[in-house]
Structure 1
């Protein structure tokens, strides 16, 4: 790999889009070649002058365009320099509270079926993985961390136990919507409010896990619908506050 050099992003622009564009240029120009590992998140953070969450969102955007792929325990690797022309939700769309609500409704339509399939088809090992992801999220909440990665892993574990690989691919793709949408809701919260917010989500996760463990497709689907429906309401509440401030 040639010397990696990303310029600091312009604060007047979307940090995520600006960084994603810079990384895309490195790939399309051939500086980052197919099969090469992307520099570490810390390296990109330092060179671009952005936070870890911005790096994560920018990489998710590249992944959605088929330019990189994540390999568990190994990092993020360049897959090619021909962006896929397919269904795409750009990260900038997540920055709108109304778009975040629309994406949650899309997730609800798909993930209720995912949960139902998981309840019927999951193995004991897959159930253990779902529970492990819950424990990891509890640890992140206890440390007042963002917990978006842990939340995504929980939903991905359910998808991977559904018996349909396309469900897993969908969650990996749409998962990048979790972070920006959540930050819109938690931005003005204090520590106590954040703890209450995340504990509510975790209670909903427990209901989903319990239904999957019981093997009830109907209960699992209903629990997932309740969880994502509650997320929609949380976002709608924030949207109303924004509207009241502007009025």
Structure 2
């Protein structure tokens, strides 16, 4: 039924795409049982771990459900998750595309924040930057704290649609930030550059300079992309273990 899977991208991603295509095309219809794990391993030429991870992704996407003792079955068709990166199969492409989207969105958010942020908003931004430093000092990657900083900027815009959009893309942004911070952690100058870029964004927002805030935010993401593009193949091989999931569940969105 299936051809063997190989190639440079994460095998679980490729298997998930193959199975999802079978479901979306109707070749695997509502109520159909997926081939057994053993059968998929044999047909696709991958390990059981790969098959389990791929099926787990389909479950999270609401495409299939596991029935104890019976197997895995195709779910009734409903509003499907929005796949924001079907064509970006490898981690490098996914993360760079996330950075491009962030550059457009966060530049405008910073600009609005400069015009609208309250003293309370500014305090939360400062706390978020302090939290990044504390997380890194404690041996963490600071990804959640980094996201919190950008989230605090979005909240300070007073734009409910922008806030909802950032919340909607929360896990997409989080996974992208995890990879960018893993790259930046490899070199002390990278870490310090990111720290300075964050503080430049905050400084522009604090003085109410909308254009400077937009420029600082966009420059931060431009530099993030450059740092990623300079990363060697060894880094990208290591980051295959960091799941970069750019599918958004429409039913779970605010």
Identify whether the pair has TM-score above 0.5, normalized to the shorter chain. Answer: yes
1:177 aligns with 2:172: yes
1:119 aligns with 2:114: yes
For the residue of structure 2 that corresponds to 1:145, the secondary structure is: coil
1:153 aligns with 2:148: yes
- With normalisation by structure 2, the TM-score equals 0.59
1:96: how far off? Answer: 2.1
- 1:223/1:234 CA distance change after superposition, 3 Å: same
Tell me which structure has the larger Cα radius of gyration.
Answer: 2
For the residue of structure 2 that corresponds to 1:163, the secondary structure is: coil
1:142 maps to which residue? 137
d(CA) in 2 for partners of 1:151, 1:109:
18
d(CA) in 1 for partners of 2:220, 2:163:
19
1:200: how far off? Answer: 2.4
1:11 aligns with 2:49: yes
Higher relative contact order (CA 8 A, sep 6+): 2
1:166 maps to which residue? 161
Structure 2: 5+ residue runs without aligned partners? 1-46, 69-75, 237-254
1:115: how far off? Answer: 0.3
When the two structures are aligned, how many residues end up with a matched partner?
183
C-alpha RMSD of the superposition: 3.7
1:214: how far off? Answer: 0.6
Q: Is 82-91 or 138-147 further displaced after alignment?
A: 82-91
2:58 maps to which residue? 21
d(CA) in 1 for partners of 2:130, 2:201:
14
